[in-house]
Structure 1
């Protein structure tokens, strides 16, 4: 069974009825928390071979941030969480 798509200009009532509304809200909150300048994922400039790449973060930084802020203590549990949820 295909789920209806959520339009970008949908009304608040339509968004609340959509089956994935809770998932969208949780993801939006997670991204906002990750972008926090003080407590978010550290974003820095990385030096490449001949140039510098601005505004990047490493996968290691992301995993460390998730383990610190999402109450994940086991790396295996963290990986399972992202594979299945």
Structure 2
């Protein structure tokens, strides 16, 4: 992957990023917005050169990440033997 982008490439990535953030109610400057643009940069390096392709790659990444989250599951048990109880 080239680390140097031309103006047209940067505009494509920026436009895709802003469109995805707007569609998902994400502040582009937030941590999630920063993660999103990072994923788009990687996708661009993997031959996703159109805005629609970049948005699709990011959506697939977020869907995959979401599959590993189970809402409503019980808390992860911890072994916190409190010295107060002793």
The two structures have a TM-score, normalised by structure 2, of: 0.31
Higher strand share: 1
Larger relative contact order (CA 8 Å, sep ≥ 6): 2
Higher helix share: 2
Bigger-Rg structure (1/2): 2
